[in-house]
Amino acid sequence: MKSNTFIVILIFFIFFVISFLSNILGPIIPDILNSFDLSIGLAGFLPFAFFVSYGVASIPSGVLVEKYHEKRILLLAFSLAFVGALLFAFIPTFAVALLSLFIIGIGMAMLQVVINPLLRVAGGDTNFAFNSVLAQLFFGGASFLSPMLYSYFVINVHSGKTSNFIIEIMNKIVPQSLKWVSLYWVFALVALLMVLIIKMVKFPEVELKEDERIDTGKSFSELLKNKYVLLFFLGIFAYVGTEQGIANWTSKFLQVYHGVDPATLGASIISYFWGLLTIGCFLGLILLKIFDSRWVLIIFTVGAIISLLIGLFGSLQLALIAFPLTGFFASVMWSIIVSLALNSVKNHHGTFSGILCTGIAGGAFVPLIIGGLGEIFGLRLAMLFLLITLGYILSIGIWAKPLVTNATIKSWKELFQ
pLDDT digits (tens, 9 = 90+) for 266-275: 999 999 999 9
Residue 37 DSSP SS3: coil
Question: CA-CA distance, 218 to 162, in Å (whole number)?
Answer: 60
pLDDT of 403 strictly over 90: no
Predicted local confidence at residue 246, as pLDDT: 96
pLDDT of 34 strictly over 70: yes
> Band of the pLDDT at 341, cuts 50, 70, 90?
confident
What number of CA atoms fall less than 13 Å from residue 75's CA on the CB side?
Answer: 13
Question: CA-CA distance, 123 to 192, in Å (whole number)?
Answer: 25
Of 369, 364, 342, nearest to 355 (Cα)?
Answer: 342
Question: Which string of b and e fits 15-51 if b means at least 16 CB within 10 Å?
Answer: bbbbbbbbbbbbbbbbbbbebeebebbbbbbbbbbbb
What number of CA atoms fall less than 13 Å from residue 314's CA on the CB side?
Answer: 14
> Band of the pLDDT at 31, cuts 50, 70, 90?
confident
> Band of the pLDDT at 221, cuts 50, 70, 90?
confident
State whether CATH 1.20.1250.20 applies to domain 5-414: yes
Predicted local confidence at residue 330, as pLDDT: 93
Of 9, 99, 116, nearest to 65 (Cα)?
Answer: 116
pLDDT of 263 strictly over 90: no
Q: What does the domain layout of the chain look like in residue ranges?
A: 5-414
- Phi, psi of 107, deg, nearest 5: -60, -45
Taking residues 185-210, report their average pLDDT: 85
Of 183, 334, 201, 240, nearest to 52 (Cα)?
Answer: 240
- Say what the alpha-carbon torsion angle 147, 153, 159, 164 is, to the nearest 10 degrees: 140
Predicted local confidence at residue 1, as pLDDT: 44
Taking residues 125-130, report their average pLDDT: 67
Question: CA-CA distance, 53 to 140, in Å (whole number)?
Answer: 21
Percent of the chain with pLDDT over 70: 90
Question: CA-CA distance, 385 to 389, in Å (whole number)?
Answer: 7
Question: CA-CA distance, 225 to 78, in Å (whole number)?
Answer: 36
Which one has a higher pLDDT value, 73 or 225?
73
Question: CA-CA distance, 275 to 131, in Å (whole number)?
Answer: 19
Number of H helices, E strands in the chain: 18, 0
Biggest CA-to-CA distance, the chain: 63
Tell me which DSSP letter residue 127 carries: G
Q: Chain centroid to CA 93: how far?
A: 24
Percent of the chain with pLDDT over 90: 42
What number of CA atoms fall less than 13 Å from residue 375's CA on the CB side?
Answer: 12
The answer to whether residues 234 and 359 touch, using CB atoms and an 8 Å cutoff, is yes
Question: CA-CA distance, 348 to 210, in Å (whole number)?
Answer: 8
> How many other CB atoms are found less than 10 A from the CB of residue 99?
15
pLDDT of 15 strictly over 80: yes
Predicted local confidence at residue 195, as pLDDT: 94
Taking residues 392-414, report their average pLDDT: 73
Predicted local confidence at residue 22, as pLDDT: 80
Say which amino acid occupies 256. Answer: V
